[in-house]
Structure 1
Amino acid sequence: MSWLTEFPELSRRDLMGLRKTLDGAYRDFSREYGDTIEAFFDPLLSFLIWFEKLLIATPWWLMIAILMLITHLAARSLKLTIGVGIALFMVGYLGMWEDTMSTLSIITVCTIIAIIVGVPIGILMARSGRTQAIVTPILDIMQTMPAFVYLIPVVMLLGIGKIPGLIAVVIYAIPPVIRLTNLGIRLVDKEVLEAADAYGASPWQRLINVQLPLAMPNIMAGINQTIMMSLAMVVIASMIGVAGLGQPVLKSITNQYFTLGLLNGGAIVVLAIIFDRVSQAWAHRSQQHMGDNRS
């Protein structure tokens, strides 16, 4: 029975050995394949840098006009369009325009990547119970893991810069769009699917013309949540070199600059509100348009 008294020490010793083994294996992997993986992401880095420079180089008045036009086309709300214009003007007036455009560029790219990767995974989960059983625990882990933890393996593999930050943001923010795409497709009325089958629709036609349009409100809700989580990750990602509004907030924390943190935090809130209101309004309009067409 002596092993009972030695159990804590034995467990610590075994755990230490396991940790050393795993750390060594990951270091060897990053040294062996880090450059190759980094080269794989070079086109994405080039696009991100180009897009960021484009937003920053565009005159502020033209950028505000473009964003107001996008808002109006998506929401068809004059009040929301004017509100977006005033909010963006105040952001620029308070000297945060360049950081706001940097944040807007990375959030836009992260959202596009999350949609391209997340929607197909959600579709696979909806079509296969086995895929759902495999992916759901992974999503649970991704949503409960502390945000700082995502930075560790990415930084060890790719170093500090825009791409590691972008990958960390995507990993943190992608679960909602996957879950809600899966949920939206599964909630499509079976009678509607049976009617599509009766008209001779192929599985692909049924997906594109029936399931995805009817699931669009849920998918848009997932995209909305993904954008919100991306913005929440911006400050943390600034610790590994992601430019934007997160860096002044981080600077204000380390140097106790209350006003700097408050203003840049407010700019992040402004972006969050704009994305939230515009995406919700567009989803609501799409749902109404779909209902009018069905009637």
Structure 2
Amino acid sequence: MNWLTDNKIPLGAWMENFVDWLVDAAAAFFDLISITLETMIVSMVDAIEWMHPLAVIGVILGLVWFLHRSLGLTIFIAAALLLIINMGYWVETLQTLVLVITATTISVLIGVPIGIAAAHRPWLYTILRPILDLMQTIPTFVYLIPTLILFGLGYVPGLISTIIFAIAAPIRLTYLGISEVPNELREAGLAFGCTKSKLLYKVELPSAMPNIMAGITQCIMLSLSMVVIAALVGADGLGKPVVRALNTVNISQGFEAGIAIVLVAIMLDRICKSPTARKES
């Protein structure tokens, strides 16, 4: 078997050469993306930090009440946010929320149209499926290496890695939802004279909306898990105190930061669930 190991296929070297080529050929392009995204995220964080924490909590609670009309959920989110402030992780929580919302928004804006196109073109999903499998099975730390080289330290490599990791969920579930629209609904729409665009917006998307919303919720959870890991490449947020606690074996700090992450995950999950799904769960 020595011949097999002695004649190693240089997959890693090929990838390294490809990344080096990207750095040399498109350095200005990646710098532009990095500066634009960094400025956008920092501006959003600074704008929210400028507001008083109680004012931010009031806005969030108003949104929760408008969406769900649930007193219990509103009280829970108020208590969770006040606990986060009490533990001293308010700024880190805001940074994490901005990263999660930004990554989820970009993933959904890209992933949902791709999922719709794949549902209407089976050959496209045949091409996308192994790529999506690869994106979801490669260890998350691997995404940080090329993005760190291309974009440098800070928010941007963490954001790009998060998008790559989370975008598969809205693509897959949008494809699933559109594919499972009953043929009877499509035939009824065509019988009433729907064009392809009207059939999509009036029939297919409403029917597939539960799957699409499930994809968005899953995308948010994946983004949150990856944003924490992105602290290893300099992205601010709740991941930093976790990494700091790990390096210093600080049980107290690690537990408190972990509780803050859990609370953020529960709040995002509860807010993004439809009232019907929340009552059933």
Which of 75, 82, 100 is the matching residue for 1:107? 100
DSSP-derived class of the 1:201 partner: coil
Which of 216, 228, 233 is the matching residue for 2:209? 216
Q: Distance in 2 between matches of 1:163 and 1:118?
A: 19
Name the residue aligned to 1:243.
236
Contact 1:220 1:283 in 2 (8 A): no
DSSP-derived class of the 1:26 partner: helix
Shift of 1:9: 4.9
Q: Distance in 2 between matches of 1:193 and 1:275?
A: 34
For residues 5-154 of structure 1, what are the structure 2 equivalents within 5 Å? 6-12=2-8, 15-16=9-10, 19-154=12-147
When normalised by structure 2's length, the TM-score is 0.94
Name the residue aligned to 1:185.
178
Shift of 1:78: 1.2
Task: State the AA in 1 paired with 2:3.
Answer: F
Name the residue aligned to 1:257.
250
Q: Distance in 2 between matches of 1:174 and 1:19?
A: 24
Unaligned runs of 5+ in 2: none
Given the alignment of the two structures, is residue 165 of structure 1 paired with residue 161 of structure 2, yes or no? no
When normalised by structure 1's length, the TM-score is 0.90
Shift of 1:25: 4.0
* Most deviating of 47-56 and 197-206: 47-56
Give the 3 Å change call, closer, same or farther, for CA 243–81 of structure 1 in structure 2.
Answer: same
Q: Distance in 1 between matches of 2:233 and 2:224?
A: 15
Shift of 1:19: 4.2
Give the 3 Å change call, closer, same or farther, for CA 282–216 of structure 1 in structure 2.
Answer: farther
Give the 3 Å change call, closer, same or farther, for CA 98–202 of structure 1 in structure 2.
Answer: same
Shift of 1:21: 4.9
Larger radius of gyration: 1
Which of 271, 276, 280 is the matching residue for 2:269? 276
* Most deviating of 42-51 and 251-260: 42-51
Name the residue aligned to 1:291.
none
Q: Distance in 1 between matches of 2:191 and 2:26?
A: 51
For residues 189-200 of structure 1, what are the structure 2 equivalents within 5 Å? 189-200=182-193
- RMSD over aligned CA atoms reads 1.7
Contact 1:34 1:158 in 2 (8 A): no
Give the 3 Å change call, closer, same or farther, for CA 20–145 of structure 1 in structure 2.
Answer: closer
Give the 3 Å change call, closer, same or farther, for CA 283–247 of structure 1 in structure 2.
Answer: farther
Q: Distance in 2 between matches of 1:54 and 1:204?
A: 39
Contact 1:216 1:283 in 2 (8 A): no
Name the residue aligned to 1:205.
198
